[in-house]
Amino acid sequence: MQVKLSIFDYREGDFLQLVEAIFKENVSDTDGALDELLEHFENITQHPEGTDLIYYPKTPEDGTPENIVRIVKEWRLSQGLPCFKS
């Protein structure tokens, strides 16, 4: 997975792949790649809940990759922040 500099360098589908890669790495035997992906996720989303969106979702349904992408997108738009590229 190639990471990009900012969230607006991602198409929504590419960002979903990033979140799915985090889920995949989460069950991996090593944490090196996971740590980098989680730090990248926090940096580019700027969401106040950070990785809690992944590990401590408000509801079980919110903890799916698709809903994490939706939550990040809705929050960024509500804050007037740029989101995914078209």
pLDDT by residue (tens digit) across 51-63? 999 999 999 999 9
As a whole number, the mean pLDDT across the chain is 95
Give the distance, in angstroms, between the CA of residue 68 and the centroid of all CA atoms in the same chain. Answer: 7
Report d(CA 62, CA 66) in Å as an integer: 8
| Segments in the chain forming alpha helices (H) | 12-26, 32-45, 52-55, 65-78
Task: Report pLDDT digits (tens) over 5-27.
Answer: 999 999 999 999 999 999 999 98
At 86 the pLDDT is 85
At 31 the pLDDT is 73
* Average pLDDT estimate for 76-82: 97
Describe the crossing of helices 65-78 and 12-26 by its angle, rounded to 10 degrees. 130
Ordered by where they begin, the domains of the chain are 9-78 (1.10.1200.20)
